[in-house]
Structures are given as C-alpha cells and as structure tokens.
C-alpha cells in the first residue's frame, strides 16, 4: 500500500453514503452510492488534504473502466503522478 | 370559471421559533429573537444585533447527504417546506407532483458559501469548493425542495430583495389561477448572518445599534434575521375535494414598482400596491382588518408606510390594527414576507394580533394603532402582508377567512 492510499480511502469513505462499513480496495464502486459529481468533490478534497494537483476534467472520462475502489485509487494515483 | 387559491399549510424557521407553532407562540407573547452577537469567518468578525434561528443542526443532519452539503439557505427552505407540506397533509403522488409548482425565492442566495469561497481564494490562496456554484445560485432552495419532494410543476426563484417571499406567494397563486398548476409550495429563505454580508449591510449605516424599534420615535434601523417561510397554496375546489384543512383564502395580491429610487421608499408606490391587492376584497368593518406592516424600523420606511396605509384606507385607517413583527424576529430580508404571511394568516385563525415590541416612544409621524408591546385579541377577517423592497419593488398579499 502506498503512503497516500489510506488517506485516499478515508476521503472516499466520507462520500460513500451508500456504505454501512468502511470501503476497501475490493468494494465495488457501484456500492458507494456516489454519483459522477462526487468524483469532483473527492478530487478537490484529495488536492486540499494531500497538497497535490489532480488534472481532471469532468467532461472527459478517465475513470471509464473502473469497477472497484482499488481501481479508483489507482486512477487517482496515476493522475497525481502526471 | 374563477380558480380561487387557498392556503392549506405553512412552515417556518425564524429567530423566535424553528417551527410554525413556536413562531406563533413567540408572536403572541412578544418574544424578541434579536441579540447582539459576533458573526465570524475564521479570524474575521463583526459584532451586531441579529436574529439567529434556534439550533437546527440536528434537523439539518437528518435531511440527508445532498442537503447536508447545501448552503444554509437551502437547508432552512427545506425544513420549512417539509413542515408546510406535512401541515397541509399533502400526499404527493405522481399526478400531484406534475401539477405542483415550487416557487421559492431569496434576496441573496447562498451567501455563506460565497463568503467561504472568497475567504479561501483571497486569504488562503486556495480554490473554491467544487459545490460553490450549486450552493450560491439563488434557485438552489427551490431546486432542493423540488428534488426532495419530486415536484415537477413550474419551479424557479424570485429575487426582489425584501419582497422576494411575497412575490413568490403571489406569482405562485397566479400560476395556480392561470391553470399551469393546482398546488404550489411558495415562499422564500434567507441566510445572510455571515461576516461578509453583515459588513456590506453595516456599510449602508442603516442597521440598529441595539434592537429593532418599528414606529417608535427612537428607532434607529433594522436588525437582520435569518429563516424561511413557506406556504402550501392550493386551488380551492381541489383542496375542498381532498378534505384539506383550509387555513385562509388568498383574497388579493398586488405588485408594482416605485420606479423612482434604489433606497428611498415611495408613499404612492406602496399605497397603489395595497390598493391593487385590496381591489377585489370586501371589507365591511375596518376594525376586522390586520396589517402586518413592512415596518423595518428605519427612519424613512415607517412614516412612509403609515402615510400609505392612511392613503389606502382613509378614515378606516384609525380602526384597523397594524403591527411590525420584525420587532421580534428581525428583518428576514427575502424571507420576511414568508414568515410574515404566516403571522398574518395566524391572526385569522386565532384572533390574536401580534404586538410591535420595543415601541416605547410615540412618533407623531407614525400615528396608527400598532398594537404597542402587547398582543391584542380581536376577530380578524382580512389580514394584509406588506413587503416593500430595496429598488422600489412592492408586493402585498391579502388573506381572508376561508
């Protein structure tokens, strides 16, 4: 687990209104109860809390193939590296 | 066939009560919700008399994730709308939802979110929160209420400063009369007890130094309050057919503009607006009329409104009772006409006329019966709610016993 994975999980958990227990990498994104705009809020909080830039345009679809929280975390980490 | 509009429910968030029952109780007892307090964002702070709503944090938490992330103005609108819809016993099935309008105004919109975004940008060199736009748009309260209850009739916000709620109620009634809807959720919300907004208001030098004293010689300005006032309006035959408890009939509505000045009120504009609202209303006995005045407690409004009432009612003006409930709940700006409509309707229901408190020094230029400092018990058949806004925009609603 990379050092930013845990804070990413915590931020995602705050938005996961559909969950009754904390999300893990294996949790399906469909179970989080979030909509596409929640991704924008999650990215804002990632930038604020971690002091990083996440280049992201909500009109594009860089998360198109994601199915689990693990996929979302990997995609965020890839964007942060860019 | 004429379609009449009746009121079947109301809901209130106000500095003297965060539901309609406690608001009405506060009015009848002359309770003051204005207190000097510090209004702050981080290290920036201003201390002024203001009317804060009682603690509603737990109820806001209960509204669910979308509304927890909304601006306070939308949260208060939703709490008041929920109460009004429950009070009306309105069951919103698919057919009703399509025929229900949702017209909820605001003088400003999501001011607290504006303050937060600019503080973050200018003081902290940070970007605004991505929800900022959705929080500040003035139609956010109407949108949240429409989404929460699935209302799919005409829906928008009206912004006419201190007349926003009264315009919303009157325009919504016109929509029902015109046949575009059968039911309406109408009123306004305001949440400007924020550092930035209060600095701007304070710059106008029209805020009271201690409390609001409408029609009193020693008045020295308005005190800003926060809250929401929402009515459920219904076409009369529909309301009767479902056995609704009809609280009042909207007997008349007037709206016009002074067309003169951004801040100085016009006696003619106010009088013409009242005359327009009362044109189809039968008044047999002026002593059964109550006027919930705009009554801001400013130097100019109170004598101008007094003259306008005399101009409208002639000799009858000495028989009716006028009061400014802003003396208790402060000036709710856009939402003022919403809670004041509830105050007006309440006199039809209870025969208890709320007082004008803090009226301790008679002013020869304000020479009507303002129910000074204590409620009056009297049968009321016609209740008028006056709203005269900055920018010379006037709206007057008249309610009568159904």
- The average pLDDT across B326-341 equals 98
B34 has pLDDT over 60: yes
Same domain, B162 and B37: yes
* Over residues B244-269, mean pLDDT: 97
Catalytic residue among B144, B149, B167, B294: B294
pLDDT at residue A58 tops 90: no
Q: B250 with B233: CB under 8 angstroms? A: yes
Q: Whole-number mean pLDDT of chain B? A: 97
- B260 and B228 within one domain: no
Tokens at B190, concatenated: 């305001």
């400063």: which residue's tokens?
B161
Using CA coordinates, name the residue in chain A closest to B125: A48
- The nearest alpha carbon in chain B to A16 belongs to B65
| B124 touching A (Cβ < 8 Å) | no
Mutation target vs A (from B70, B113, B130, B147; most A CBs, 10 A cutoff): B130
Domain boundary among B220, B241, B262: B241
Domain end (from B241, B274, B293): B241
Residues B280 and B167 in one domain: no
Interface mutation vs chain B, best among A44, A51, A54, most B CBs within 10 Å? A44
Q: Report, as an integer, the average pLDDT of A4-16.
A: 89
Closest alpha carbon to B263 in B145, B77, B367, B393? B393
Chain A residues touching B131 at Cβ < 8 A: 41
Mean pLDDT to the nearest integer, B145-167: 98
User: Per-residue pLDDT tens for B113-154?
Assistant: 999 999 999 999 999 999 999 999 999 999 999 999 999 999
Residue-wise DSSP of B272-333: HHHHHHHTT---S-GGGEEEE------TTHHHHHHHHHHHHHGGGGGTSEEE-THHHH-B-G
- How far is B226 from A79, CA to CA, in rounded Å? 43
Determine, for residues B126 and A48 on separate chains, whether the beta-carbon distance falls below 8 Å: yes
The stretch B8-33 carries a mean pLDDT of 98
d(CA B386, CA B388): 7
Distance from CA of A8 to the nearest CA of B (A): 18
In a domain, residue B247? The reply is no
Does ipTM exceed 0.90?
Answer: no
Q: What pLDDT does B53 receive?
A: 98
Q: Is residue B320 part of a domain?
A: yes
Per-residue pLDDT, B6: 98
Same domain, B317 and B393: yes
B144 is catalytic: no
Instruction: Please write the tens of the pLDDT for every residue from B94-121.
Output: 999 999 999 999 999 999 999 999 999 9
Range in A39-43, B7-11, B212-216 with the lowest mean pLDDT:
A39-43
Residues B185 and B43 in one domain: yes
DSSP state of B46: E
| Calpha distance B127→B142 (Å, rounded) | 27
What tens digit of pLDDT does each residue of B269-316 get? 999 999 999 999 999 999 999 999 999 999 999 999 999 999 999 999
Closest by CA position to B5, among listed B275, B247, B233, B323: B233
**What's the mean pLDDT in B387-400?**
98
Contact residues, chain B, for A53 at CB < 8 Å = none
- Check whether residue B396 and residue B305 sit in a common domain: yes
Mean pLDDT of B247-268: 97
**Co-location of B152 and B293 in the same domain:** no
Question: How distant, in Å, are the alpha carbons of A74, B72, B150, B156 from that of A49?
Answer: 18, 24, 36, 36
CA gyration radius for chain A?
12
Token output for A6: 């845990």
Contact of B130 with chain A, judged by CB distance below 8 Å, is answered with: yes
Distance from CA of B89 to the nearest CA of A (A): 30
| Domain of residue B80, residue span | 5-241
The total of structural domains in chain B comes to: 2
Q: Do A17 and B65 touch (CB under 8 A)?
A: yes
- Whether the pLDDT of residue A62 is over 60: the answer is no
Q: Is residue B303 part of a domain?
A: yes
Q: Does B131 contact chain A (CB < 8 Å)?
A: yes
Residue where one domain finishes, among candidates B219, B241, B263: B241
What pLDDT, on a 0 to 100 scale, did the predictor assign at position B294?
A: 98
Of A41, A47, A48, the CB nearest to B131: A41
Judged by a CB distance cut-off of 8 A, whether residue A35 touches chain B is no
Q: Which residue has the tokens 């009329």?
A: B289
Superfamily holding A5-81: ACP-like (1.10.1200.10)
- Which residues are CB-contacts of B209 (< 8 A; sequence separation ≥ 6)? B49, B220, B221
- Look at residue B246 and tell me if it is in a domain: no
Size of interface A-B (CB pairs under 8 A): 12
Sign of the Cα pseudo-torsion (B333, B339, B341, B343, in order):
negative
Residue B66 lies in a domain: yes
Query: Looking at residues B6-12, what average pLDDT do you find?
Result: 98
Q: Are residues B326 and B188 in the same domain?
A: no
- B172 counts as catalytic: no
CATH number of the domain within which B48 lies: 3.40.47.10
A41 near B CB under 8 A? yes
B1 pLDDT higher than 80: no
* Residue A63 pLDDT greater than 70, yes or no: no
Residue B327 structure tokens: 């003396």
pLDDT band with cut points at 50, 70 and 90 for residue A16: confident
> Residue B216: which of B389, B49, B370, B337 has the closest Cα?
B370
Q: Which contiguous run of DSSP H or E holds residue B223?
A: none
| Residue B51 placed within a domain | yes
A37 contact residues in B (CB cutoff 8 A): 130
Tens digit of each residue's pLDDT (9 = 90 or more) over B189-209: 999 999 999 999 999 999 999
Q: Are residues B180 and B229 in the same domain?
A: yes
DSSP structural state of residue A31: G
Q: Are residues B154 and B200 in the same domain?
A: yes
**B294 among known catalytic residues:** yes
Q: Which among B65, B126, B130 has the least Cβ separation from residue A40?
A: B130
Interface residue of A13, A16, A17, A34 to substitute, partner B, most B CBs within 10 Å: A17
Find, among B335, B139, B168, the residue nearest to B250 by Cα: B168
Q: Does B125 touch chain A (CB under 8 A)?
A: no
Tell me which of A16, A48, A55, A57 to substitute to probe the interface with B (most B C-beta atoms closer than 10 Å): A48
Whether chain A has a CB inside 8 Å of the CB on B68: the answer is: no
Task: Please report which helix (H) or strand (E) contains residue B11, including its range.
Answer: strand B5-13
pLDDT reading at A39 higher than 70: yes
């Amino acid at each position: 687990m990379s050092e930013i994975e845990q804070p990413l999980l915590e931020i995602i958990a705050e938005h996961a209104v559909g969950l009754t227990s904390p999300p893990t990498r294996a949790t399906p994104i469909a179970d989080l109860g979030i909509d596409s705009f929640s991704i924008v809020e999650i990215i804002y909080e990632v930038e604020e809390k971690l002091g990083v830039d996440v280049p992201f345009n909500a009109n594009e679809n860089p998360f198109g193939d994601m199915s689990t929280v693990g996929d979302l975390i990997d995609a965020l980490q890839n964007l942060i590296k860019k | 066939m004429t379609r009449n509009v009746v009121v079947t429910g109301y809901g209130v968030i106000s500095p003297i009560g965060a539901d309609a029952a406690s608001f009405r109780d506060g009015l009848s007892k002359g309770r003051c919700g204005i207190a000097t307090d510090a209004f702050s964002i981080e290290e920036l702070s201003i201390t002024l008399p203001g009317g804060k709503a009682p603690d509603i944090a737990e109820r806001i938490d209960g509204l669910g994730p979308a509304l927890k992330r909304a601006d306070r103005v939308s949260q208060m609108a939703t709490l008041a709308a929920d109460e009004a819809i429950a009070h009306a016993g309105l069951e919103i099935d698919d057919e009703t939802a399509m025929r229900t309008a949702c017209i909820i105004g605001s003088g400003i919109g999501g001011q607290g979110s504006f303050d937060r975004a600019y503080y973050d940008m200018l003081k902290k060199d940070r970007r605004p929160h991505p929800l900022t736009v959705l929080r500040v748009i003035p139609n956010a309260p109407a949108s949240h209420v429409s989404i929460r209850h699935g209302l799919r009739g005409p829906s928008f916000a009206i912004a006419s400063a201190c007349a926003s709620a009264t315009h919303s109620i009157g325009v919504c009634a016109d929509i029902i009369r015109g046949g575009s809807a059968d039911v309406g959720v109408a009123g306004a919300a305001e949440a400007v007890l924020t550092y930035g907004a209060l600095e701007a208001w304070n710059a106008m030098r029209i805020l009271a130094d201690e409390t609001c004293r409408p029609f009193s010689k020693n008045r020295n300005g308005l005190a800003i309050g926060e809250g929401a006032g929402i009515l459920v309006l219904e076409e009369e035959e529909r309301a009767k057919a479902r056995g609704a408890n009809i609280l009042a009939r909207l007997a008349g509505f007037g709206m016009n503009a002074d067309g003169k000045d951004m801040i100085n009120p016009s006696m003619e504009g106010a009088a013409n607006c009242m005359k327009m609202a009362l044109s189809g209303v039968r008044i047999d006995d002026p002593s059964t009329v109550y006027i919930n005045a705009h009554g801001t407690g400013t130097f100019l409004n109170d004598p101008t409104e007094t003259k306008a009432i005399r101009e409208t009612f002639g000799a009858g003006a000495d028989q009716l009772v006028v009061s400014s409930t802003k003396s208790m709940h402060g000036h709710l700006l856009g939402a003022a006409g919403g809670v004041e409509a509830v105050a007006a309707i309440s006199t039809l229901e209870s025969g208890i006329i709320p007082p004008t408190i803090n009226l301790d020094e008679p002013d020869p230029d304000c020479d009507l019966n303002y129910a000074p400092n204590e409620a009056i018990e009297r049968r009321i058949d016609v209740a008028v709610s006056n709203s005269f806004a900055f920018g010379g925009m006037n709206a007057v609603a008249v309610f009568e016993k159904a």
